[in-house]
Amino acid sequence: MKLSKILWKIIDGILLITVSSMLLVVILQVLGRLFGRSIPWSEEMTRNLFVWTVNFGMVVGFRNVDHARVTFILDLFKPSKAKEYIQLGLYATSGLVFFSMLALWNFQMTFRQLRIGETSPALGIPMFWVTLPMGICSVLALVAIVETVFFDKHTRSRILMKDIELVADMEEMK
């Protein structure tokens, strides 16, 4: 099995664990309130798990090319091979620049939180655990973009197909 397939299976597993844990904590909180015993840490735990879930879900969206895109620049070009190269180039460049900057800024913030020892109020866990997934997932999004554009023909074709689907949807609306 290729290393990247193992990586994506691990990410899917992390998503399963975070969503299941979030559901369990919410059920415990509801049951606690039903019996008059509120769980003080449940809201914070749910919020932290949600942060992890959203960030890893974003990575999966980029890996599967299931995310929103702005295509107004591409609409200026007529369908051609050149447009495909422009589309892939814009996709790769914008994604690589955005997620590189996001990873850099997030790791700076995470290390600052680690250095000053900031903790969460209810759980008392170090706050860097809450901000860390954004940096990790930004790096994973970079991996997903590089793999999608340069190494995986199937997902690369999905980038181009999304544009065709958008055009078809717009024509149906007319």
User: Per-residue pLDDT tens for 45-81?
Assistant: 999 999 999 999 988 888 877 766 656 566 666 666 6
**pTM for the complete prediction?**
0.75
* pLDDT above 60 (res 13): yes
Could you say which DSSP state residue 79 is in?
S
pLDDT at site 89? 78
Dihedral (C-alpha) 88, 102, 54, 6: value to the nearest 10 degrees? 60
Q: Residue ranges per domain, the chain?
A: 3-173
Residue 82: exposure state from Cβ atoms within 10 A (0-12, 13-18, ≥19): exposed
* pLDDT above 80 (res 37): yes
Question: What is the separation of C-alpha 22 from the centre of its chain, rounded to a whole number of angstroms?
Answer: 17
Please give the Cα distance from 134 to 56 (Å, whole number).
8
Rounded alpha-carbon distances, angstroms, from residue 119 to 51, 64, 105, 122 = 16, 35, 20, 9
pLDDT at site 167? 47
In 42-162, beta strands by DSSP E: none
Residue from 152, 101, 111, 151 nearest 131 by CA = 111
